[in-house]
Amino acid sequence: MSHLLPLLIAVPIIGALVPAVLGARRPVISRRLTVGILVGQVGLAVAVLVAVAATGPRTYVVGGLPAAVGIGLRADAVSTVFVLLVAVTAAALYVTVRTDTTGPTDSLWLLFVAGLTGIAVTADVFNLYVFLEISGLAAYALVAGRHGTRAALAAFHYLLVGTIGATLYLLGVGYLYVATGTLGMAGLRADLAAVGYDSPLVVTAFVLVTVGLGVKLALFPLQAWKPDAYAVATPDVSALLATLGSTVPGYALVRLVFDVFTASFLDAVPLVRTGLVVVGVASVAAGGYFALRQSDVRRLLAYSSVLQMGLVVIGIAIATPAAVTAALVLLVGNAVAKGGLYAATGVFARRFGATTVDGYAGLGRDAPLTAGAVSVAFISLVGLPPTVGFAGKWYLVVAAVDSRAWVVVAVVLLSTLVSLAYAGRVVERLYLAAAPGGTEPVATDGGGLADGPARERTVVFVVVAALATVLVGLGSTELAAWFAPVVEGWL
C-alpha cells in the first residue's frame, strides 16, 4: 500500500514505452497493453481513494530523502478526486472514442495521463512544473498528431503560449525559492508566512504562478490558444484535452493558492484578490461573448470553458469554504460535461460531417441519443438543476451572498443567461431546424464510415458523461462533504 502514490505516476510513464516499442510492429498487442495500463491506472486511483478515505491523507517521499530535497508526493481527499477523474477519463476515452491508435500517439496519451496525475499528487512546486511540462508537451504533440497545416499551426500556437505560461510559472517558483529556500508545499506554507505575505518577492511569485497557470486555464485574455487547438484536434484528443487539460491546472491553482500561499495571503494582499475577481469576471464575460459569436461548435465549447474557468477563479477569489467547494465542483462538472460534448462533436462530424451550429440542424432526429445527451450536458453548463453545474453555481452564489459580493452575485447569475443563449442556439438547432436537404452520412476527413463499433462506443461515452452530470449533481452534497475536511483545513 505504501508505494501506491509513486506507482500512480510510474505506471503511465513507464507504460508509455509500450506503444512506442510495440506500436508499429504489434499494433493489436500494443493497443491491448495500453488499455491494460489505463485500466490499471483506474484501479490504482481507486485504491488511493479508498486508502485516503480509510486512513486520511497519505504522503510519500521518493527514495526516502528528506522532504525538503526529495520528491514529495501527497494525496488527500481533493487530489484523489482529480487523480480518479484523470484515470477514468483517459481510460474511457481511449476505449470508446479513440480510433487512431498508432504507437507514438498512444505513448503521448499515457504521458499526458502521467503528467496530469503528477500535478494532482505532487507536494512540491518545482515538480509541479515538471509535470505541467510533461502533460503540456504531450498535449502539443497530440494536437499536432492530426495531419495538415491547420493542426500544425494550432499546435505551434498552443506550444508557444503553453511554454510561455509554464516558463512564467517556473519564474514564480524561482522567486519562491529565493524568498524561502524551499520548494516543498508544506515548507513554503510556513516559510511564506515568516517572510511576510506583503513582501514584493512573494507577491511577484504569486502573480507569476497565477498568470502561468492562467494560460493553462485559458483565462481571459490568455485564452486564444484554446479554441484553435480544440477545434483542429481529432475528436478523441479534443475530448481528452477539454476534460482534463484545463481542469487539472485549475486544481493546481486551487492547491497553490490555499495550500501554499493560504487564505491569509489573500487577506494580507487585497489587491491580489481584487485582481482574481477581475480576471474571473472578465473571463466569464469574454467567454460568454465569444461563445455566442462562434459558428464552429468546438470553438463555441472552448469559449464556454473560458467562462466556466472564470467562475472557478471567482470561487478561488472569494475564498470561503463554500466558494472553494464551488470552484472544485465546477471544475469537475465542467470536465464531465465538456468530455461528453467534445465526444459528441466527433460523432456528429463523422456521421454527418457537421461541425458548425448551422450544420447541426435537425440532427436530433437522426441521432436522438447523442442529441439528448448533448442537451443534458448543455443544461449542466447552463447550470440548471439537478445537474452538477447547478450545484456548483449554487455553492458559488451562496458564498458570494455570504461575503456580500454583490457584483459577483450578479455576474454569476447573469452568466446563466449567457450560457443559456449559446447552449440554446445549439440545442434548438439540433431539434427544430429543418434538415438542409439530404442527411445521408458523409465521409469527412475524419476517416471513412467503416468505424461502426467505435462510433457506437462513442455514443455510449457521450450518454454516460451526460448521465454523470446529473448523478454528480444529485450527489453534490456527498462530493462537497468529501472535499470538506481538506477545504476547511485550508481556511
Interface with another protein by CB under 8 A: which residues?
379, 382, 384-386, 390-391, 394-395, 397-398, 401-402, 409, 413-414, 416-417, 420, 424, 428, 431-432, 434, 473-474, 476-477, 480
Residue 37 vs 367, nearer CB to another protein:
367
**350 neighbors 455 (Cβ within 8 angstroms):** yes
Q: CA-CA distances (angstroms) from residue 420 to 26, 43, 425?
A: 48, 38, 8
Q: Report, in Å, the least distance between residue 386 CB and another protein.
A: 6
Q: Is the peptide bond before 19 cis (omega within 30 degrees of 0)?
A: no
For residue 274, give the amino acid letter.
Answer: T
- Closest CB to another protein among residues 358, 402: 402
Question: Closest approach of Cβ 15 to another protein, in Å?
Answer: 38
Smallest separation (angstroms) from another protein to the CB of 326: 10
How near is the Cβ of 293 to another protein at its closest, in Å? Answer: 18
Separation of alpha carbons 291 and 308, rounded Å: 12
- Dig out the grid coordinates for 193 from the structure: 508566512
Min dist. Cβ of residue 325 to another protein (A):
9
Which residue has 491547420 as its cell numbers?
150
Q: Read out DSSP for 159-173?
A: HHHHHHHHHHHHHHH
Q: Grid coordinates representing 406?
A: 454583490
* Cβ closest to another protein, residue 69 vs residue 432: 432
> In this complex, which beta carbon is closest to another protein, that of residue 207 or of residue 471?
471
Nearer to another protein, 238 or 325 (CB): 325
What span, in angstroms and rounded, lies between the C-alpha atoms of 351 and 367? 9
Residue whose cell numbers read 504507437 = 103
Whole-number minimum distance, CB 442 to another protein, in Å?
24
Give the CA radius of gyration of the chain. Answer: 21
In the complex with another protein, the residue whose CB is nearer, 54 or 434, is: 434
CB of 395 vs another protein, minimal distance in Å: 6
Max distance between CA atoms of the chain, in angstroms, equals: 70
Identify which of residues 98 and 393 has a Cβ nearer to another protein in the complex: 393
H or E element: which one contains 237?
helix 235-240
